Amino acid sequence: MLSALPGPATRDGNPAEISIVVPVYNEEAGLAAFWARLAPVLASLACRAEVVFIDDGSSDGTLAQLLSLRHLDPRVRIVSLSRNFGKEIALSAGLDHADGDAVVPIDADLQHPPEVIPELVARWRDGSDIVIALRRDRATDSLLRRAASSLFHRVFARMTTVPVVRDAGDFRLMSRPVVEALRRLPERTRFMKGLYAWVGFRQTTVSYDIEPRLEGRSKWSLWRLWRLALDGITSFSSLPLKVWSVVGLAFALAALAYGGYLVARTIVRGIDVPGYASLMVMILFLGGLQLLSLGVIGEYLGRVYDEVKARPLYIVRQRIGFDRDDQSPG
């Protein structure tokens, strides 16, 4: 341990240096274990720290657990959202409420070992704006998930210009300027990996071994991962939208050539009727292609609609441990 325990951070003139941001959704069973690992790390940091928990509309006893943690340690702050908004938005809420010079988002399920945090902080003090904690291997993920992830990253790299770091998740340290840059991105579709890469800044990486989830199970179903992949691509590339003009042009040219051939053949050989099979194949194929392209437009249009409505990203039900509207709902 380096020095005496720092006192609780207060918003008036004595902001925290390090903010740990933890989105939690129905983590009642694992929170105590998480805190047991995080607390010694906080103590070893030897700087003013705060821990901002975002209760993402949990339906179990998570909030009560958080309140008892706050009772133990006043550096714990709680933002309770009005419903489940999803991890990415919960994280954004956390960034909005954290006021440290450096902010470290971390999962509550201990898949991100808190023991890595001092290393992140050390690299930050050495002058990096972003220190990414890279998972060393993905042994805890299923084969299918790993394959899907690898495919996604290859497609994503092809279609966009943002340099997304593979295997880099939300576990990282970001300096204040990075956090402010992220907070200025107003989009509702929050594909964090892409947003992190988009803002840029100097970054370094630190490796850690990911651990299996401690309690409960991951909330990411394959369907959710698919939605996430679509969010990522539609947020950073309009290629799927534009490719149809090229596909259409190619088909039109081919149709023109084939049409010319048919006319010439009719003139030379007279009329003959067969060709039902080829006709059906073409109609079905083109019909499918048209529906697909409409679907792609729909994916974009839906997201444009979401943005145009300009609803707030999240609704806070209660803030606990903040000067502004303490305890008051809304």
Our finding on whether 87 is near ligand UDP (CB under 6 A) is yes
Applying the rule CB under 6 A, the residues between 24 and 63 that interact with ligand UDP are 24-25, 27, 56
Choose among Mg ion, ligand UDP, none what residue 90 binds, the Cβ cut-off being 5 to 8 Å by kind: ligand UDP
Residue 24, contacted partner among Mg ion, ligand UDP, none, CB below 5-8 A by kind:
ligand UDP
The entry of ligand UDP, Mg ion, none that residue 232 binds, CB within 5 to 8 Å by partner kind: none
**Residue 205 interacts with which of ligand UDP, Mg ion, none, CB < 5 to 8 Å by class:** none
3-state secondary structure at position 133 = strand
Which residues in the chain belong to E strands, given as ranges? 18-24, 49-55, 76-81, 102-105, 130-135, 168-175, 203-208, 316-320
6, 23, 105, 321: which one binds ligand UDP (CB under 6 A):
23
227 binds, among ligand UDP, Mg ion, none (CB under 5 to 8 A by kind): none
Q: How far is the CB of 224 from ligand UDP (least distance, A)?
A: 9
Kindly identify the residues of this chain, within the stretch 165-194, that bind ligand UDP according to CB under 6 A. none
d(CA 307, CA 311): 8
User: Least distance in Å: CB of 147 to Mg ion?
Assistant: 19
Query: Which residues in the 204-233 window bind ligand UDP by CB under 6 A?
Result: 213, 218-220
Binding residues among 92-151 for Mg ion as defined by CB under 5 A:
109, 111
Q: How many CB atoms lie within 10 A of CB 90?
A: 25
* Closer Cβ to ligand UDP, 99 or 109, answer by number: 109
Sorted by sequence, the CB contacts under 8 Å of residue 321 that are 6+ apart come out as 70, 74, 76, 77, 78
Which residue, 236, 98, 67, is CA-closest to 174?
98
- Interface with Mg ion, residue 56, by CB under 5 A: no
The DSSP-derived string for 108-128 is TTSSS-GGGHHHHHHHHHTT-
Instruction: Give helix 276-309 / helix 239-269 axis angle, nearest 10°.
Output: 160
Enumerate residues 166-225 that contact Mg ion by CB under 5 A: none
Instruction: Specify whether the CB–CB gap between 62 and 31 falls below 8 A.
Output: yes
The angle formed by the CA atoms of residues 63, 184 and 121, to the nearest 5 degrees, is: 65
The region, left, alpha or beta by phi > 0 then psi within -120 to 50, assigned to residue 127 is left
**Is residue 267 classed exposed, middle or buried when 0-12, 13-18 and 19+ CB atoms within 10 A define those classes?**
exposed
- Which residues, numbered 230-289, are part of the site for ligand UDP (CB under 6 A)? none
- Let me know how long the chain is: 330
Query: Of residues 107, 128, 236, 319, which one binds ligand UDP by CB under 6 A?
Result: 107
235 is a contact residue toward Mg ion (CB under 5 A): no
* Nearest residue to 104 via CA among 57, 180, 49, 24: 49
Residue 176 vs 213, nearer CB to ligand UDP: 213
* 108 makes contact with ligand UDP (CB under 6 A): yes
Q: Which residues bind ligand UDP (CB under 6 A)?
A: 23-25, 27, 56, 84, 86-87, 90, 107-109, 111, 213, 218-220
Q: Which residues bind Mg ion (CB under 5 A)?
A: 109, 111
